[in-house]
Amino acid sequence: MKKRHVMRALVAAATALALTACGSTGSSDTSKSTSTAATSTASAASTSSGSEADTENTITIPAGESVSQDSDVTAMVAVDFTTMDPMDTSDTLSGGVQRMMMDGLFGFDENMQIIPMLATSYEANDEATEYTLHLREGVSFTDGTPWNADALIANVNKWADKSLGLKRTTFLCNVLDHAEKIDDYTVKIYLSQSFGAFISNLAHPATLIMSPKQIEAGEDACAQAPVGTGQYKFVEWVAGDHMKVELNKDWWGYDADVCGGTALADADAGFKSITFKPVAESATRVSAIQAGDAQIMWSVPTESVDTLKGDSNVSVGMGDSIAVWYFFMNTQKAPFNDVKVREAMAYAINKEAYIQVVMNGYGSVATSMVGEEAQHYKGNDPYSYDPEKAKEDYTAVSAELSRAQTALDLLNSTETMEIEL
């Protein structure tokens, strides 16, 4: 059915944004969030009802034909983008859109396992200081530049350039030494020290690959008009108003032969274009989805989830997020250098109440600064809410501070007397 076909593409586009939440916030002691995205079926499918059971206004289409690729859709987001340079990005939204336009050497699957993307395989020496990367053939950037060893080396040199002052530069620059071209599709990267997690870093969104022509054009070009090998290509960005991307029908991910046997996406997946509009007021975003003025909304404010779930024209996709909220304490400075203070803070926070009141129940108590869905997650037993224990710790700390202050006062008094004498 037409509606179902469009919805598949809508959910895929929303997921591309939601899955980029890695590293946004973390918590060892408060709560983890649930990632939500809403999609409106009425406008995109040109039907008056989004109910799966309602077939009266649903149009069937022949197999193999695409409705979505003829559709221009609007996506409502909460904030504006900051930059389109992956190596200078620290926010989830910008990183999500970048992933639609640029691919990495490696990526993560739904189970957070590393998968090949623009690189097909690699070898490392025993010391983990030399990595030989074998690159995928038959891929081009959307500006026509071929993807090859020269393109990778241009990106590696950019990652290693501290003078650019990019936020993510330290992500790799402290270990990168140089890259050597072995042949057109093989590059050896030399590190200045052993680094076993290097391939994992190459799967991080910070290392998405940019066209060497754009890198040569300068940092402003990279930040404002990205050029990659992705499923979508950049059209325009008017800061504060909108960003538009359009489908790259020549994307290598549609080609089973280039992908090594199985395509990354169906040939009819994707939209003709997506226009992202930043709207700060959540009520306005919700209204736009319900009215059909927008087809995608990310993320959904927790207070609006139940309302949207009850709208037959809206589909709300939910899943465990890797974003974790936390209260950070500098243990090198007072008062947080005292374990009793940290324990008092932990016991004093009612995390379950926070989840119910602030997050409207869409979250759970975190057991680590790393989300459960993230690779290498290992949880701990969180501190329970116990105001009596919090008071005990606070009382003990106060007594210690009082004794310390008394000793300090006596010391200062003695020094003053000696000076007067």
Render 54-77 in DSSP notation, one character per residue: --TT-----TT--SGGG-EEEEEE
Q: Does residue 47 surpass a pLDDT of 50?
A: no
Pick the more confident residue, 248 or 11: 248
Average pLDDT of span 388-403: 79
Give the pLDDT score at 271: 94
pLDDT digits (tens, 9 = 90+) for 287-318: 999 999 999 998 888 999 999 999 988 999 88
- Highest mean pLDDT: which range of 120-124, 392-396, 403-407: 120-124
- The answer on pLDDT for 268 being more than 70 is yes
pLDDT tens for residues 149-176?
999 999 999 999 999 999 998 888 889 9
Confidence of residue 93 (pLDDT cuts 50, 70, 90): very high
Judge whether residue 45 has pLDDT over 60: no
Q: How far lies 76's CA from each of 321, 341, 402, in Å?
A: 19, 42, 54
- In the DSSP assignment, the letter for residue 268 is T
Task: Write down the pLDDT at residue 173.
Answer: 86
What fold characterizes domain 339-420? Dipeptide-binding Protein; domain 3 (3.10.105)
Element (DSSP H or E) covering residue 130: strand 130-135
What is the Cα–Cα distance from 39 to 359, expressed in whole angstroms? Answer: 21
pLDDT above 70: residue 389: yes
Which range (10-19, 137-146, 336-345) has the least confidence? 10-19
Tokens of 73: 């859709």
* Per-chain mean pLDDT for the chain: 83
For residue 146, what are the CA distances in angstroms to 87, 117, 183?
Answer: 21, 15, 14
Of the pLDDT bands very low, low, confident and very high (cuts 50, 70, 90), residue 373 is confident
pLDDT over 50 at 56, yes or no: no
Q: What is the mean pLDDT of residues 268-285?
A: 94
Hey, where are the domains in the chain?
339-420
**Residue 335, preceding peptide bond in cis (omega within 30° of 0):** yes
pLDDT at position 162 is 92
Q: Would you say 317 and 14 are in contact if contact means Cβ atoms under 8 Å apart?
A: yes
413 band by pLDDT with thresholds 50, 70 and 90: low
C-alpha span between 188 and 177 (Å, rounded): 11
- What's this model's pTM, rounded to 2 decimal places? 0.76
